[in-house]
């Protein structure tokens, strides 16, 4: 069969690499892909942007693609799944109305409160009905969020209520474009952050292996927020007890709520959670796709056929299968370009990529091929991912591979996995 993957990051390289291992798959296409997907056996790039829905449908029809998997959120939020289905094509990912769970924070907060799913207390404003006096009467800190997609930058934690008023006004005046026309202001929650990622199909939920990412750019969780500087799986923060509570208090009411609202969900569903000291799993956000970089270590550990998982998801038979996981730990270190997360340097030649082993895989993200050489083409360049018998071994293997890679200005954290090591000692 032929599989098409939409997107160009490390997540898409990992999905393409894993899909190509399925004995049922003859060819994987990635639109638009990167240098890593271009060089992968049985994988080829297609020069179509991941959000050019009309061109993607034309390509999928012409090539008789059997299954399309959507990596990033933007195509989902603009309705790529709806367009594929209307053309009689099978596409794994939520339809436009279900993808609002990521596309609109105001929609999600209303959904959560309507279905009594734990989340921070909140209020929603537009410029027209903004009530600065109400905001000043709240207890700080407050969290101000742009409603729409803002590439992970639309959340501002404010230490004072005055800061919250200014943050909301900056959003109304166009700081994040139309994404900031509506603003959610919510209570600041304390606790431990965790993510929970599942394959969902209607009422069926197949949780994937647990994972934890590292959002800050620098060691010790310092420096600016990023798309993610590394991840590992499994993550000890999600204990069996928390797992049970998340299923019962978040995932099950969410998928049932979506069905009751007439927008049943098929796809990856990623809940960003703040686990309160009493164990309550508060929802901070939903993502309607797999995480990047969490996908990379999770795919290293997946022993089951990835394409089977998607097919059961689309066919509504997810309850008939289970996913099988490698017992080892997988850990991925993101190697970023100079300047990231601001304006990254581009065009630097990357060396040291031709290392192959059963335990380590270099997933590409912002890379392209120029004059036969692999060069950097954006902020997060690579995710070097390795397996090991425990976190320390996986860490050692991943950093040994990173040490062989070079490009000018490369930066990476040296402490990916430190939470797990602390948890083990504690
Ligand atoms: P979000 O995109 O909504 O997940 O927010 C990005 C990050 O902001 C989260 O990963 C948290 O670290 C932080 N955050 C968001 N909402 C809250 C909240 N209500 N209380 C505390 N931290 C928050």
Tens-digit pLDDT profile for residues 128-144: 999 999 999 999 999 99
Residue 140 Cβ inside 6 Å of ligand 1? The answer reads no
- Give percent helix, percent strand, percent coil of the chain, each to the nearest 5: 30, 30, 40
Q: Residue 424: its pLDDT value, please? A: 54
Interatomic CA distance for residues 287 and 323, integer angstroms: 21
**Sequence-ordered list of residues with C-beta below 8 angstroms from that of 294, at least 6 positions apart, any chain:** 195, 197, 211, 212, 213, 228, 231, 233
Cα–chain center distance at 317: 24
What is the overall mean pLDDT for the chain?
95
Largest CA distance in the chain: 62
Per-residue pLDDT at 178: 85
* Nearest in space to 334 (alpha carbons), one of 7, 72, 13: 13
For the CA atoms of 326, 198, 267, 380, the dihedral, rounded to the nearest 10 degrees, stands at -70
Give the Cα separation of 375 and 370 in Å (integer): 7
17-41 per-position pLDDT tens digit:
999 999 999 999 999 999 999 999 9
Dist. CA 143 → ligand 1 center (Å): 7
82 lines ligand 1 (CB under 6 A): no
Q: What tens digit of pLDDT does each residue of 306-334 get?
A: 999 999 999 999 999 999 999 999 999 99
d(CA 409, CA 123): 43
Omega within 30 of 0 (cis) for the link into 234: yes
Secondary structure element (H or E) that encloses residue 363, with its range: strand 360-364
Q: Which tokens go with 6? A: 């939409």
What are the angstrom distances between the C-alpha of 49 and each of 74, 217, 404? 11, 28, 32
- With a cut of 50, say whether residue 426 has pLDDT above it: no
Check residue 250 and report its DSSP letter: I
Coil, strand or helix at 85: helix
Q: Please list, in sequence order, all residues whose beta carbon lies within 8 angstroms of the beta carbon of residue 253, skipping any fewer than 6 positions away.
A: 115, 116, 117
Beta carbon of 120 within 6 Å of any ligand 1 atom: yes
Residue 130 in contact with ligand 1 by CB distance below 6 A: no
User: Measured between alpha carbons, how far is 157 from 242 in angstroms, rounded to an integer?
Assistant: 26
Name the DSSP letter for residue 202: T
**Ligand 1, pocket-test mutation among 105, 143, 149, most atoms within 8 A of CB:** 143
Tell me what the mean pLDDT of segment 342-353 comes to: 96
CB atoms under 10 Å from CB of 329, counted, come to 25
Cα 226 from Cα 205, distance rounded (Å): 29
The mean pLDDT of 364-379, rounded to a whole number, is 97
Ligand 1 pocket, 299 CB below 6 A? Answer: no
Give me 333's structure tokens. Answer: 């270190």
Q: What is the mean pLDDT of residues 402-413?
A: 97
Q: Is 101 in the pocket of ligand 1 (CB under 6 A)?
A: no
The per-residue pLDDT for range 80-122, each reduced to its tens digit, is 999 999 999 999 999 999 999 998 999 999 999 999 999 999 9
* Residue written as token pair 């927020």: 225
The conformation of residue 386, written as its DSSP 8-state character, comes to: E
- Counting Cβ atoms within 10 Å, is residue 140 exposed (0-12), middle (13-18) or buried (19+)? middle
At residue 364, what are phi and psi to the nearest 5 degrees? -90, 150
Q: CB of 106 within 8 A of CB of 147?
A: yes
Site to substitute for ligand 1 among 108, 118, 139, 157, most atoms within 8 A of C-beta? 157
Indicate whether 189 pLDDT > 90.
Answer: yes
pLDDT category at 164 given cuts 50, 70, 90 is very high
**Percent of the chain's residues with pLDDT above 70:** 99
What separation in Å is there between the alpha carbon of 189 and the centre of ligand 1? 8
Distance CA 415, CA 421 (A): 10
Tell me how far the alpha carbon of residue 284 lies from the centroid of ligand 1, in angstroms: 6
Cα–Cα distances (Å) from 291 to 159, 248, 286, in that order, read 28, 22, 11
Summarised one tens digit per residue, pLDDT across range 229-272 is 999 999 888 899 999 999 999 999 999 999 999 999 999 999 99
């Amino acid at each position: 069969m032929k599989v098409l993957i939409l997107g160009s990051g490390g997540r898409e390289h990992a999905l393409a690499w894993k899909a190509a291992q399925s004995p049922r798959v003859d060819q994987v296409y990635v639109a638009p892909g990167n240098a890593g997907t271009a060089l992968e056996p049985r994988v080829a790039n297609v020069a179509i942007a991941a959000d050019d829905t009309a061109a993607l449908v034309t390509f999928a029809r012409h090539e008789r693609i059997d299954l399309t998997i959507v990596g990033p959120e933007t195509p989902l939020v603009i309705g790529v799944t709806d367009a594929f289905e209307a053309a009689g094509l099978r596409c794994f990912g939520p339809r436009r109305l279900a993808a609002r769970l990521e596309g609109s924070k105001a929609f999600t907060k209303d959904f959560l409160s309507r279905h009594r799913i734990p989340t921070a207390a909140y209020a929603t404003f537009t410029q027209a009905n903004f009530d600065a006096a109400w905001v000043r009467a709240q207890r700080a800190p407050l969290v101000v969020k742009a409603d729409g997609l803002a590439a992970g930058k639309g959340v501002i934690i404010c230490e004072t209520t005055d800061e919250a008023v200014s943050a909301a006004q900056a959003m109304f005046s166009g700081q994040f474009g139309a994404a900031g026309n509506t603003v959610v202001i919510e209570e600041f929650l304390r606790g431990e952050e965790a993510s929970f990622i599942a394959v969902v199909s209607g009422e069926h939920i197949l949780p994937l292996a647990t994972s934890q990412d590292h959002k800050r750019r620098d060691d010790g969780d310092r420096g600016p927020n990023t798309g993610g500087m590394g991840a590992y799986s499994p993550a000890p923060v999600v204990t069996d007890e928390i797992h049970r509570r998340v299923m019962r208090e978040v995932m099950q009411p969410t998928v049932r709520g979506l069905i009751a609202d007439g927008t049943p969900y098929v796809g990856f569903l990623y809940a960003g959670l703040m686990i309160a000291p009493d164990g309550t799993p508060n929802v901070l956000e939903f993502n309607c796709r797999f995480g990047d970089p969490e996908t990379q270590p999770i795919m290293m550990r997946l022993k089951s056929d990835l394409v089977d998982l998607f097919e059961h998801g689309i066919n509504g038979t997810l309850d008939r299968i289970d996913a099988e996981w490698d017992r080892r730990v997988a850990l991925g270190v993101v190697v970023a370009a100079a300047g990231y997360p601001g304006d990254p340097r581009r065009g630097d030649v990357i060396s040291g990529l031709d290392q192959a082993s059963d335990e380590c895989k270099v997933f590409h993200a912002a890379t392209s091929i120029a004059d036969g050489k692999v060069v950097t083409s954006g902020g997060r360049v690579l995710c070097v991912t390795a397996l090991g018998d425990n976190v320390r071994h996986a860490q050692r293997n991943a950093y040994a591979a990173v040490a062989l890679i070079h490009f000018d200005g490369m930066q990476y954290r040296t402490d990916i996995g430190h939470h797990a090591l602390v948890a083990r000692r504690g």
